């Protein structure tokens, strides 16, 4: 478990180190001039003291931390910024607390229906627990990359690409939008919790059918769109024909028997549903001629 420590200010230690240097230099020069062994011994002791004091001085930059260990035992994590001083026998390891962007590579996987697709994601993550990131996993940055790819693959296999593949699906990769991103972010946080990593944002950055089926799927989508458009056209044409017959009957402009109604309906449907403009034919005789 992470334990945050607050070491003492390093400015006092810095000033003390300067005074030790000055005192050691004076003792060394005086010892050489007077050939005094005690002064030279004092200079040597001050040199050792200087190394001891200066070794404990460290600088922690903003959004960075230091993880402290003492002969293999975890002492704590320093998240305080500035010039600090710690026990010189402690070993400190730098770790960044800044947000990182992971632009995942494009993966080729099968969706829920077994169709090969290409998918990639962009993930924003940062270290939230320095102890877990440093000691619970071997290389937390590589751990983030591998687990992110695993989460994207799992998401792709649990959701169909689009509604056309599975009409009963509540969430699809193509139309899911924010819900798909939320599912991905939730799974990433669950996977990366062991490494002390928090995912701030996760979004699908690339989504497409694999090249080997992209052409066939495009034709299928076009056919579906054409069928949907035709059904709307037919539905509207039927309504217009019904309205025309109703108004002719109500206003009693002409009296049509069943055969003439059928001919009129046929002609109107051809005109309304045809892709090209109809060519009118003028009939100067009887309908039965």
Delimit the domains of the chain by residue range: 4-95, 100-209, 218-272
Under DSSP, the state recorded for 95 is: E
Q: What is the mean pLDDT of residues 145-169?
A: 81
pLDDT at position 287 is 52
Mean pLDDT for the chain overall: 82
Q: What is the mean pLDDT of residues 265-277?
A: 63
Per-residue pLDDT tens over the stretch 25-63: 888 888 878 777 888 888 889 899 999 999 999 999 999
pLDDT at position 190 is 94
DSSP 1-32: ---EE-PEEHHHHHHHHHHHHHHHHHHHHHHH
pLDDT at position 33 is 80
Name the superfamily (CATH) of residues 100-209: Band 7 domain (3.30.479.30)
Question: Residue 276 and residue 270: Cα distance in Å, rounded?
Answer: 10
Residue partners of 125: CB distance under 8 A and separation at least 6? 99, 100, 102, 144, 188, 192, 197, 198, 199, 200
pLDDT at position 288 is 53
Question: Residue 133 and residue 128: Cα distance in Å, rounded?
Answer: 8
Q: Is residue 163 a contact partner of residue 85, using CB atoms and an 8 Å limit?
A: no
pLDDT at position 35 is 75
Question: Residue 267 and residue 99: Cα distance in Å, rounded?
Answer: 68
Residue count of the chain: 289
Per-residue pLDDT tens over the stretch 61-108: 999 999 999 998 999 999 999 999 999 999 999 999 999 999 988 898
Residue partners of 135: CB distance under 8 A and separation at least 6? 74
Q: What is the mean pLDDT of residues 4-10?
A: 89
The neighbour count for residue 246, using CB atoms within 10 Å, is 10
């Amino acid at each position: 478990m992470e334990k945050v420590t607050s070491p003492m200010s390093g400015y006092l230690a810095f000033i003390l180190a300067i005074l030790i240097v000055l005192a050691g230099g004076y003792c060394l020069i005086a010892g050489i001039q007077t050939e005094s062994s005690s002064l030279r011994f004092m200079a040597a002791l001050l040199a050792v003291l200087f190394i001891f004091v200066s070794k404990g001085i460290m600088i922690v930059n903003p959004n960075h931390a230091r993880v402290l260990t003492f002969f293999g035992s975890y002492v704590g994590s320093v998240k305080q910024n500035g010039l600090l001083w710690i026990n010189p026998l402690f070993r400190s390891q730098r770790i960044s607390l800044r947000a990182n962007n992971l632009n995942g590579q494009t993966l080729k996987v099968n969706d829920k229906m077994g169709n090969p697709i290409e998918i990639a994601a962009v993930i924003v993550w940062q270290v939230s627990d320095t102890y877990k990131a440093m000691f619970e996993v071997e290389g937390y940055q590589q751990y983030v990359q591998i687990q992110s790819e695993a989460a994207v693959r799992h998401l792709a296999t649990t959701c169909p690409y689009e509604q056309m593949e599975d009409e009963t699906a509540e969430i699809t990769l193509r139309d899911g939008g924010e819900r798909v991103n939320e599912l991905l972010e939730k799974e990433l946080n669950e996977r990366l919790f062991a490494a002390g990593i928090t995912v701030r944002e996760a979004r699908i950055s690339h989504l497409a059918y694999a090249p080997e089926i992209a052409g066939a799927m495009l034709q299928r989508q076009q056919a579906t769109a054409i069928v949907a458009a035709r059904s709307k056209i037919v539905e509207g044409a039927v309504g217009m024909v019904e309205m025309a017959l109703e108004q002719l009957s109500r206003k009693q402009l002409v009296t049509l028997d069943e055969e003439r109604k059928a001919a009129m309906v046929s002609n109107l449907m051809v005109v309304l549903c045809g892709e090209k403009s109809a060519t009118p034919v003028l009939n100067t005789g009887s309908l039965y001629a």
